[in-house]
Amino acid sequence: MKELNLPNTLTIFRILALPFCAYALFKNGGSDDSWRIIAFTLFFIVGLSDILDGKIARSRNQITEFGKLLDPIADKAMLATASISASLLGMLSWWVTAIFLIREVAVTILRFAVIKKGVIPASKGAKLKTFFPKLFSRLLYPAAAIIFKYTSRLVYGSCHISNHYYWS
């Protein structure tokens, strides 16, 4: 099957890894710092695979319609998993999660509405919009959650809001 190349396999890996990321985050009630670090590491690996699959697809000329469709879905699934998990654990306000999810659902509906004319590949701006919130939330949040348990909600929410909507 031509569509199931290495970049698309990495994208599928990203989606399949998300339950393990959430499991690690919720282990021991979500308050175990060791499991939070494990969850951070898993989310970080999943985020790196997002960068890697795109680089491999472009360098090997393995860009497929399947990959153009699945990659943004994997990004949205990762954002949803992280946001909903953080809200369930009380680390992120539900209204912030709702804004993220409403925006992502709207973009997905738009993509599917125009799919008859071909899949819309992610633009460079969209890729940056995805990259920076991942970078900041993965670097700042775990440190804040461990060191400043009471201020972690503010740091996490601020990173996501400012970076997510700045690149929109």
Model confidence pLDDT, tens digit, residues 138-151? 555 555 555 445 44
Query: Which helix (H) or strand (E) element contains residue 90?
Result: none
The answer to whether residue 6 scores a pLDDT higher than 80 is yes
pTM value is: 0.68
Q: What is the pLDDT of residues 123-140, one digit of tens each?
A: 665 655 555 555 555 555
Cα–Cα distance, 96 to 117 (Å, whole number): 33
Query: Which helix (H) or strand (E) element contains residue 167?
Result: none
**CA distances (Å), origin 34, targets 25, 47, 140:** 10, 20, 16
pLDDT of residue 18: 94
Furthest-apart CA atoms within the chain: distance in Å: 50
What are the chain's domains?
A: 6-166 (1.20.120)
pLDDT of residue 106: 86
Tokens of 120: 């819309």
Neighbouring CB atoms inside 10 A of 119's CB total 17
Cα–Cα distance, 159 to 137 (Å, whole number): 6
DSSP label at 92?
Answer: S
